Amino acid sequence: MPMTLESTLIPPQRSRDNSPAARLRLDPLDWKKIERQLQLAAEEKAASEQRPEQVLCCARCSKPITREDQRIAVQDRHEHVFLNPTGLIFRIGCFATAPGCVSIGPATLEHTWFPGYRWQIALCAGCGEHLGWRYRGDADSFYGLILKRLASAADGARPFYP
């Protein structure tokens, strides 16, 4: 094809190929970005697979109670500080599940810290230590666990309190 002024000023038309392969034709710099994003995603996945599941244990007997990934926000916060009717102060964290706890006593709304939720005492299933409360609403339930009575399994389940 002979070169004309028009052929040097007007870029060649792209083919009308609308196949997926044609749509994926990117600038080499775009491919570098995609490769980097894939590499970062692979590294993150590998790092998350190497991290042991963060288990929270009873600080008294080291029985597994719940996991870090079970932390939830209730009333817009995970952590709460409450004063009970006898004057004791408790710093609790909210957890969706706590399979290492047993709930005892009747569920009651009396003196509840979470309006609309009945509570029961939650004890460690291993040693009977009072770890907090199980809260049950009409549609859901959760545990409010006393944070100083839990220890991280990753730390060898050392207690957070003396």
pLDDT value at 47 more than 50: yes
How far apart CA 153 and CA 162 sit, in angstroms, is 17
User: How many structural domains is the chain composed of?
Assistant: 2
- Asked if the structure places residue 42 within a domain, the reply is yes
Express each pLDDT in 48-103 by its tens digit: 554 556 999 999 999 999 999 999 999 999 999 999 999 999 999 999 999 999 99
- Domain co-membership, 44 together with 118: no
First to last CA, the chain: 88
pLDDT value at 23 more than 80: no
- Domain co-membership, 68 together with 123: yes
* Contact indicator for 81, 90 with CB cutoff of 8 Å: yes
- Asked if the structure places residue 161 within a domain, the reply is no
- Domain co-membership, 40 together with 69: no
- Domain co-membership, 35 together with 112: no
- Which residues does 3 contact at the CB level (< 8 Å), separation at least 6? none
- Domain co-membership, 73 together with 42: no
Give the structural domain span for 112: 55-155
> 40-44, 46-50, 76-80, 123-127: which range is least confident on average?
46-50
Which pair of tokens denotes residue 119?
């509570």
- Domain co-membership, 65 together with 106: yes
Label residue 36 by pLDDT band (50, 70, 90). Answer: confident
> 43-47, 135-139, 148-152: which range is least confident on average?
43-47
- Domain co-membership, 59 together with 45: no
pLDDT of residue 10: 47
- Domain co-membership, 63 together with 103: yes
SS3 77: strand
CATH number, domain with residue 96 = 2.170.150.20
- Which residues does 83 contact at the CB level (< 8 Å), separation at least 6? 89, 90
Q: What is the mean pLDDT of the chain?
A: 81
- Asked if the structure places residue 32 within a domain, the reply is yes
- Asked if the structure places residue 160 within a domain, the reply is no
**For the residues 24-30, what does the mean pLDDT come to?**
60
- Asked if the structure places residue 38 within a domain, the reply is yes
Which residue shows structure tokens 């817009």? 76
- Domain co-membership, 82 together with 21: no
pLDDT value at 143 more than 50: yes
- Domain co-membership, 104 together with 139: yes
- Better-predicted residue by pLDDT, 145 or 49: 145
- Domain co-membership, 62 together with 130: yes
